[in-house]
Amino acid sequence: MGALCNHALELTGLAGDTQSRVHRLDPRAKILGLVSVTLVAVTTPLALWPVYGACALVLTAFAAAGRVGPRAVWRRARFILPVVGILVIFLPFVRRGGAQYDLGLLTAHEAGLAVGATVAVKALIGTIGAVLLGATTTFPEVLRGLEALRAPRLFVLIAAFMYRYLFVIVEEVGRMRAALVARGFRPRNALQAGAIGRVVGSLFVRTYARGERVYLAMLSRGYRGSMPQLMPLAFGRADTAFVALVLVALLPLRVASGLAA
């Protein structure tokens, strides 16, 4: 179970040169910059390939500055990309229009192919943007950035506690599974799987009880309904420059190609 946690840790932790300029940027700058790349990509109509190219260029430059290699990006992105892949594979057959390509049982449509390709590119840009944010910013920093950007406080709190207790719960699941297996549990049909239901039930009760204990521990240390901040974030000149650079690289192109189309 420790191995699983370490694996998960590796995939949520920093990658690349952790002292690089990009890593040291204010989390708000990175969130704003990378979210705007994704927003530009998502709102760009079909076939405006120069805009997508510019997005890819910004992401590549960002990764290069942080020395986040393609392998690190792939290791993290591979969990999300299959979901995108499934969607993209179906689109050419569902969306009709334009030329038709007969593939035996199925018929692919040109319009579908075009939509599929742009969806794939948009998803790829969004995914890599998120991966790069995660590779250059620790999760607690992302949360602090979100909170400073006025994301709903409750949402940030839930994410923070999820991050903290996910590993505790995963370990608990591992222990319960070990206890089942140790007593010879090997479900051969759906009826025998009922034990898993009881495991989930008792896990829910345990997690709920833990939640109460954590809350008591928080009250004991003077919690009054809002999370205090240890170090205030500092949005410096480098951060402004980074966001400005991203916007200058993308917005004129996006607006120009929008007008042309």
Partner 1 sequence: MSCAIHASGLRYSYPNGQPALAGVDLHIEHGERVALLGPNGCGKTTFILHLNGLLRGQGVLEVAGLDVSHKVLRELRARVGIVFQDPDDQLFMPTVREDVAFGPLNLDLDGEAVESRVREALDSVRMAPSAERAPFQLSMGERRRVAIATVLAMRPALLVLDEPSANLDPRARRELRELLERIDRTMLVATHDLPFAAELCERAVILAGGQIVADGPAADLLADSDLLARHDLELPAGFDLAAVPRRPRPRADAVAASAGER
**Comparison of 168 and 181: residue with beta carbon closer to partner 1:** 168
Q: Is 216 in the site for partner 1 (CB under 8 A)?
A: yes
Retrieve residue 231's tokens: 């170090």
127-136 in b/e burial notation, b at 16+ Cβ within 10 A? bbbbbbbbbb
DSSP secondary structure letters along 225-238: SSPPPSS-----HH
Cα–Cα dist 148/142, whole Å: 10
Q: Is 53 in the site for partner 1 (CB under 8 A)?
A: no
Q: Judged by CB under 8 A, which stretch of 92-100, 120-128, 209-217, 247-255 contacts partner 1?
A: 209-217
Minimal CA–CA distance to 122: which of 30, 49, 63? 49
- Classified as helix, coil or strand, 261 is coil
Q: Compute the least distance from the CB of residue 140 to partner 1, in Å.
A: 4
Retrieve residue 97's tokens: 């229009």
Q: Compute the least distance from the CB of residue 221 to partner 1, in Å.
A: 4
Q: Is 220 in the site for partner 1 (CB under 8 A)?
A: yes
Consecutive H or E run containing 100: strand 100-103
Residues 152-181, mask of contacts with partner 1 (x by CB under 8 A): --------xx-xxx-xx-------------
Following CA atoms 114, 124, 64, 14 in sequence, which dihedral angle do they give, to the nearest 10 degrees? 180
102 bridge partner residues: 107
Q: Is 183 in the site for partner 1 (CB under 8 A)?
A: no
Q: Is 201 in the site for partner 1 (CB under 8 A)?
A: no
Q: Is 204 in the site for partner 1 (CB under 8 A)?
A: no
Q: Is 238 in the site for partner 1 (CB under 8 A)?
A: no
Q: Judged by CB under 8 A, which stretch of 49-57, 60-68, 196-204, 225-233 contacts partner 1?
A: 225-233
Retrieve residue 42's tokens: 């998502």
The residue from 43, 100, 229, 240 that contacts partner 1 (CB under 8 A) is: 229
Q: Is 218 in the site for partner 1 (CB under 8 A)?
A: yes
Q: Residues touching partner 1: how many (CB under 8 A)?
A: 30
Q: How many other CB atoms are there within 10 angstroms of residue 40's CB atom?
A: 22
Interface residue list for partner 1 (CB under 8 A): 5, 9, 138-140, 143, 160-161, 163-165, 167-168, 210, 213-214, 216-224, 228-232
